[in-house]
A and B are shown apart, each in its own frame.
Chain A
């Protein structure tokens, strides 16, 4: 129901700004190729120098650390984008964990991840089904990286994703999983510069909530490191 409300808000917003076409392109398509990737978390690089150069901070997103009411609570950061704030509330209710990129008290970007931190309380992330991947107890699934449009082109996406990898490692995970669309060159670049390796590709057809996917062997899959046998999940 919350997901439906979130999507309804997006539709109304799209209608309001005349970008219905772009919204529906995201929900109705015959074929898009997702590249499924993994990253060994034992070798994440130090982040502090890059953060200092960019003049930003990294915060873990929590209900107490973010000013979701947009009040004036001191010491708490606030979202610049109302849409992302709503999404963050939705994700937190689902039990996902998030990392935010903060500048001068405002959240300019965020990224989310899911894992088995509380094995019985949280449903498996829905992407895992159509991506045909399973997460073991030491795997985290990262998704939905966002940077405010006026701050793109500053290499912050790479910084934020790198920060998320460190957060996952600090949470006890040993491997990160994720995906990007093959036609999304910026995302492809961020993943490759951060040494993610390809596992497989998935062709997806989508009509709103109906999805049909087909797994293809990856031409680059041979470069992927050895992985532990995943635990089969049920949704």
Chain B
């Protein structure tokens, strides 16, 4: 069972070490409220890697209608989405 706190840190680690690596658009540590879309972290390729990572890591299936900026714009938004009763 993954707790909310550890899940959030797992997601943060993936975003920092895989998606944000080498972009230099945000600070090395990504804060909960940092805008990942405006920062260029979750772009068209970033969303593909992020969805793939979330589905594999947390054994979930993210439907296409959920892939909207409101759910992926920050770590806070992602955590809120993952906490939703959908899964």
A residues near B, CB below 8 A?
152-155, 157-158, 182, 185-190, 192-193, 219-220
Contact = CB atoms under 8 A, between A and B. Distances in A.
A154 B45 CA distance: 8
Contact of B48 (A155, A157, A158, A186): A186
B43 A155 contact: yes
B65 A152 contact: no
B51 interface: yes
7 contacts: A153-B46, A154-B43, A157-B44, A158-B44, A182-B64, A219-B65, A220-B65
Scoring B37, B42, B44, B69 by chain A CB atoms within 10 A of each residue's CB, the highest score goes to B44
A1 B30 CA distance: 54
Interface of B: 37, 40, 42-48, 51, 64-65, 67-69
Contacts of A186: 44-45, 47-48
A153 B42 CA distance: 10
A43 B37 CA distance: 19
B68 A187 contact: no
B51 A185 contact: yes
Nearest to B19: A153
A182 B63 CA distance: 11
Contacts of B67: 185, 188-189, 192
A166 B47 CA distance: 25
A185 B43 contact: no
A27 B34 CA distance: 42
Scoring A154, A158, A187, A193 by chain B CB atoms within 10 A of each residue's CB, the highest score goes to A193
B51 A192 contact: no
A190 B45 CA distance: 10
Contacts of A190: 44
Contact of B43 (A153, A182, A219): A153
B45 A193 contact: no
Contacts of A155: 40, 43-44
Contacts of B42: 189
Given A192-B69, A193-B37, A193-B69, A187 B64 contact: no
Nearest to A194: B69
Nearest to A220: B65
Contacts of B43: 153-155, 157-158, 189
